[in-house]
Amino acid sequence: MPKIYKVNLDDQEVAYLKKMISAGEEKARTLTRARILLKVNDGWTDEAIQDALDVGTATIARLRRRFAEEGLEASLHHRRSRRRYEGLLDGKTEAHLIKLACSDPPEGRTRWTLRLLAEHLVVLDEVDIESVSHETVRQVLKKTNLSLGENSSG
């Protein structure tokens, strides 16, 4: 079956990849990608590359496509996610969470837990959120270096 994406490296690119592999200073994944590109350029079949380098044929196909569409550097190096993660809590809500965590725990409890803080934060009148996970509470408290453990004497 003919390949849709062809890899044709020029002499300069081949020299660059061979030098990179021989130096061995890049990440292992980058070196494996360089080896795949060299073997594809030399006419190896995907199955032969799979056996030689212990990679999947899907990896080889993705690398071929990425090389054809985006070039050598993009095919070698990991692409950062373009996704933007927006924080669930704004500064005002985080301040209320920290204030709550610093207050005395509810009746019958010796200390706050992350889940307990999440439950109490949702019912506060000053805060306008429908739900919050204990993991979000943990991440906010981690930023402040606030500990829910025993009080230190020092």
Of 70, 82, 74, the closest CA to residue 33 belongs to: 74
How does pLDDT run across 115-137, given as a tens digit for each residue?
Answer: 999 988 888 877 778 888 899 88
Residues 68 and 99 in one domain: no
Residues 105 and 72 in one domain: no
Does any domain span residue 37?
Answer: yes
Query: Are 24 and 65 within one domain?
Result: yes
Same domain, residue pair 15 and 65: yes
Q: With contact defined as beta carbons under 8 Å apart, do 141 and 99 qualify? A: no
Top-confidence residue, 128 or 25: 25
**Domain contains 98:** yes
CA 153 – CA 13 distance, rounded (Å): 63
Neighbours of 129 (CB within 10 A): 15
CB 140 within 8 A of CB 154: no
Instruction: Write out the residue range of the structural domain in which residue 37 sits.
Output: 11-76
Same domain? For 70 and 114 the reply is no
**Going by C-beta distance under 8 Å and a sequence separation of 6 or more, which residues neighbour residue 51?**
none
Q: Which residues lie below 8 Å from residue 144, measured CB to CB, with a gap of 6+?
A: 98
109 occurs within a structural domain:
yes
So what's the pLDDT on residue 17?
94
Q: Give domain status of residue 105, yes or no.
A: yes
Q: What are the Cα distances from residue 7, in Å, to 44, 52, 63?
A: 11, 18, 9
Does a structural domain hold residue 56? yes
Same structural domain, 15 and 62: yes
Q: Looking at the domain assignment, is residue 121 inside a domain?
A: yes
Model confidence at 2, in pLDDT bands (50, 70, 90)?
A: low
- Our count of domains for the chain comes to 2
Checking if the pLDDT of 37 tops 90, the result is: yes
| pLDDT at residue 92, as a whole number | 87
> Does any domain span residue 5?
no
Q: pTM score, two decimals?
A: 0.56
Instruction: Evaluate whether 105 touches 111 at the Cβ level (below 8 Å).
Output: yes
Same structural domain, 67 and 96: no
154 located within any domain: no
Residue that is last in its domain, among 30, 47, 76: 76
DSSP 71-129: -HHHHHSPPPP-PPPPPSS-HHHHHHHHHHHHSPPPTT-SS--HHHHHHHHHH-TT---
The pLDDT tens digits for 71-94 are: 999 999 877 778 877 777 888 888
Do 65 and 120 have their domain in common? Answer: no
